[in-house]
Structure 1
Amino acid sequence: MPPAVRRLLIVHHTTSPTLQELFEAVRSGATTDEVEGVETVTRAALRATAVDVLECDAVILGTPANIGYMSGALKHFFDTVYYPCLEETRRLPYGLYVHGNNDTGGAVRAVESIAAGLGWERAHLPVTVTGTVSKDDLTACWELGATVAATISPV
């Protein structure tokens, strides 16, 4: 009997061409042929629901750093899923990527604080990008997607 397919959810707030590049690199890594048995589902942060989280085996979060914090859209996502998912998703592996023009520290701290409150477990160090995206940044995002997907691969 073949192993069950696992689901990776990418929740993102993509507001610029820069964030689109990072999102595409993460999705490319998550869907690489090198990782088997993982279905990748993407949801905009304003459309992602508690059901999406309850049906996934890992999540990757993507956000801009806005005024030293995560985007309002990602905060809204957390506000809507926190209590419905609190008990059911403990130990859920997660990853994070953040883009900011100046600083990403506040956004990373905020997301990690909420993820800790949910009992989620970081599967990869956050990928933070400040300013213009480099080839190394895109590689880091690809590796984030591939690593989180490999973490839940049943194969």
Structure 2
Amino acid sequence: MPRLLIVHHTPSPALQAMFEAVVAGASTPEIEGVEVVRRAALSTTAVDVLEADGYLLGTPANLGYMSGALKHFFDTVYYPCLDSTRGRPYGLYVHGNNDVAGAVRSVETATTGLGWAKVAPHVTVTGDVGKVQEEACWELGATVAAQLST
């Protein structure tokens, strides 16, 4: 069964709402045959990444960059997974109070280096997370999971 790994750093209520919507979309009953695994960025290992067939990444925008937790994730898994995970699909959601461009750019740099394939538009939110943003996160989760559906 294909495995979708959701790697997240969820320190705020806004990111919690986005995370829950992504999980709900990835786990929707309409998408069959995909195991959804959730891991906090600080506890995700290279084995978790190697055992997955696709990825959803969630981070706050901190000082114009991805969170330190997600950066630690990439530092931990980059070289052990570099050759084995090329071409795998991924999606990204980011929350910031006023700007998310630097965080998106930093994640794109890492995923480009890994050779992962962006399969859906990034969901970026500044400020409050409402119904529209939660629906976009749900769609992101469902879209990436559907890429793996058997």
Q: TM-score when scaled to structure 2? A: 0.99
Instruction: Look up the match of 1:22.
Output: 18
- Secondary structure of the 1:34 match is coil
Matched position secondary structure for 1:128: strand
Match of 1:134 in 2: 130
| Unaligned 5+ runs, structure 2 | none
Q: CA RMSD in A?
A: 0.4
Identity percentage over the alignment?
69
CA offsets per residue over residues 28-79 of structure 1, 9 Å max, x none? Answer: 0000001000000000000000000000010000000000100000000000
Counterpart AA for 2:35: E
Number of residue pairs aligned between Structure 1 and Structure 2:
150
The separation in 2 between residues aligned to 1:65 and 1:144, in whole angstroms, is 18
| Segments of 4+ moved more than 3 angstroms | none
Match of 2:71 in 1: 75
Per the alignment, residue 104 of structure 2 pairs with: 108
1:59 maps to 2:67? no
Task: Determine helix, strand or coil for the equivalent of 2:42.
Answer: coil
Letter in structure 2 aligned against 1:90: R
Partner of 2:114: 118
Tell me which amino acid in the other structure corresponds to 2:70.
L
- State the shift of 1:93 in Å: 0.4
